[in-house]
Chains A and B, each alone.
Chain A
Amino acid sequence: MTEPAEVLDCLGQRCPLPVIALARRLPELPVGAVLRVLADDPAAANDIAAWCRLRDQEFLGSPGTNAYDVRRR
């Protein structure tokens, strides 16, 4: 598994806030870097994956509970 370059703690935030935080931070990282989003909103798993599809970013899946990895393309 790729170690994340950074961890974004969105625990306790309601959707769409974790997705907004992801959309703000990911473009600031170098291409190929992995950002791990920690989020416990029930919609986060679905919406982070959907955002990656809409924004053509790579969703790497969930390495653990309430954690989602995204690689910048």
Chain B
Amino acid sequence: MPVGGGSGWACPGGRYRAVVTYLDAASAAPLHPVAQQALLAALEDGWADPGKLYAQARRARQLLDAARASVAESLRVRPDELFFAPSGTAAARAAVRGGLAGRSRAGNVFVHSAIEHSAVLYAAQAHEAAGGRALSVPVDRLGRVDLDAWRAAVTAPGAALAALIAASHEVGTVQPAVDTGAVPLYVDAAQTVPWGPPPQGWSLLTASAHKWGGPPGVGILVVRKSVRCAFEESSVDLPAIVAAAASLRAVHADAAAEAARLRPLVDRIRETVPRTVPDVEVVGDPVDRLPHLVTFSCLYVDGEALLHALDRRGFAVSSGSSCTADTLRPSHVLEAMGVLSHGNVRVSLHRRITSGDVDRFLAELPGIVADLRAESGVTAL
């Protein structure tokens, strides 16, 4: 029987563990029940190609138009400004590439913060490889962009497009409002869109449905009418889009109450872990941050070992430590902030997580870390 964050997922070999406490909503939130219902209904009703000229296709076209109108309303934008992409990553790539292409006469410098999502950084590298320039703006220890450096970068000759992530997916820090002057601003709002419509002041915006409990494989790209950014929407996953639209409405309806419920749970983790686990650095802005996400690093602990130990106790978390990355490099976000990258744990909560789940995590963590430190003989350093 699933309890709290437990979803009743299969648990190979886990005879003693019927429950997985899933604490990685920032990677993918569990599918919202509204998304599930809408997905099943749309699979029945919306399987045809919306571009064709028969009754089933017209029905599919109606569903797509309605989904677009619904997401646009949720985000307070116009439906003809909103495009669906195959993923949040694809949307981010399209925003950078399209935004820069549309500004090629103004310049070729792509200004971005040092803590953008890797999809944006890869797009920056591709821009450089194609002869353009990219300028990374540093952040402080809390992960807030250096406003003086930002201002200098966006007002320098050749600045074509500026990208600033709305809130860090790794440490939860929400960025201050920035001025980009005449340079269009691209905002990766993947982590903030689940909590409500974005504030104004941007030209391009992207989001990803599986961050709010929609299905995977639905990216959102919004291009303001004042900006040139060519994007061709092709072969969309209509049932997934319908589910994404329905769940975004449902999630926004509860967002204020859910944020008010989760914020104290995150506060509890932020306050308890440094008291109960020696030598821990809690990272990210303590005030201006996402309501559901907290990150900390445990000195002298191997991040991969920590993830596996937590997994054995039934906790699914993420990490920015190098040993947990495919690239074997530490998180560029933690590096840019200059905070400890080993022994790193990111906990991100969602609607199924209860106060009891958090208490159980907090009760088990000190022993898990102590055991790992004892195993590597680092008890008295």
- Asked if A15 and B342 sit within 8 Å, CB to CB, the answer is yes
- Asked if A47 and B381 sit within 8 Å, CB to CB, the answer is no
- Asked if B330 and A54 sit within 8 Å, CB to CB, the answer is no
Residues of A within 8 A of B301 (CB): 16
Which of A2-10, A17-25, A64-72 lies at the interface with chain B? A17-25
- Asked if A20 and B323 sit within 8 Å, CB to CB, the answer is no
Which of B179-187, B332-340, B359-367 lies at the interface with chain A? B332-340
A49 within 8 A of B: yes
- Asked if A42 and B322 sit within 8 Å, CB to CB, the answer is yes
* Contact indicator per residue, chain A 4-47, by CB within 8 Å of chain B (1) or not (0): 00000000001110011001100000000000000001110011
A42: shortest Cβ distance to chain B, in Å? Answer: 5
Residues of B within 8 A of A53 (CB): 338
Question: Once the chains are docked, how many angstroms separate the CA of A47 from the CA of B301?
Answer: 12
Residues of A within 8 A of B323 (CB): 14-15
Total A residues in contact with B, Cβ cutoff 8 Å: 17
* A42-B328, A43-B321, A43-B330 known; A16-B381 Cβ under 8 A: no
Residues of B within 8 A of A50 (CB): 281, 338-341
Of A14, A24, A46, A49, most B-chain CB atoms within 10 Å: A46
Given contacts A15-B330, A47-B330, 15 further A-B contacts (CB under 8 A): A14-B323, A15-B321, A15-B322, A19-B300, A42-B322, A43-B321, A43-B329, A43-B330, A46-B335, A49-B338, A50-B281, A50-B338, A50-B341, A51-B299, A54-B281
Residues in B lying within 8 Å of A, measured CB to CB: 279, 281, 299-302, 321-323, 328-330, 334-335, 338-343, 376, 378, 381
9 A-B pairs with the lowest CB-CB distances in the bound complex, closest first: A16-B342, A43-B330, A23-B381, A50-B340, A43-B322, A15-B342, A42-B329, A46-B335, A43-B341
